Amino acid sequence: MMFFTEEENNLSREYLDKGYIIRPVADIEALESIRHQFNSLIRELLEINDYVESEALLNNIHDYVSVAELNNFRLNIIQGINSIELFREKYFQVAKKYIETIVGNELSMQLRINLSIQLPQDDSSLLPVHSDIWSGDSPYEVVVWLPLVDCYGTKAMYILPPKDTDELSEEFRDKASGSSEELYQAIQDKVEWLEVKYGEVLIFDQSLPHGNRINKETETR
């Protein structure tokens, strides 16, 4: 028999209804350690010796990295963070109590943490509308999306709510024959843009169509 608190029941209902939850991170020390490690790697790669406040540096990566350099820079950061001992454990800690409420405590976590960077006005780092299960991922997975800066407007991501996803599934054979852009145009009035601030964590159902668009804000995501 499982005994859930009212808070845990509300969390589960919200996740089922919306397809995602946004909550304060469960371990602020782990989050601060993660951002510190990112900043250390960035300063080392970019050879930044002058003091730049962490948030200012992360929000303004476009002042240091060009679009042409972005992918190599991102891959170097990914390699760096995944070589840090206990990094995955700290990443898990920021969302542990929420994941265990939604999924349970018998878990498997992917081996490498990924990183997304979107410079302002850059169309080379777009993630077209997709559902992870369309490419063979399990429908029982959840994604933990941890922002290192405040994400809002087009600096964030969008997701199609569960009810609208069900409607899309009924029409998918017709809509899937077009391009991903045509698919987005068909659902753009129904998608929900998510605002996730630094200090919060987003957990979402990766079977729901989601993606991003050109970052039209003045800051880097």
Query: What's the pLDDT score for residue 66?
Result: 96
Query: What's the pLDDT score for residue 176?
Result: 65
57-74 tens-digit pLDDT? 999 999 999 999 999 999
* 184 and 128 Cβ atoms separated by less than 8 Å: yes
Query: What's the pLDDT score for residue 102?
Result: 94
Q: Is 98 exposed, middle or buried (0-12, 13-18, 19+ CB in 10 A)?
A: buried
Model confidence, pTM: 0.93
Residue ranges in the chain modelled with pLDDT below 50: 1
Query: What's the pLDDT score for residue 67?
Result: 96
Query: What's the pLDDT score for residue 175?
Result: 66
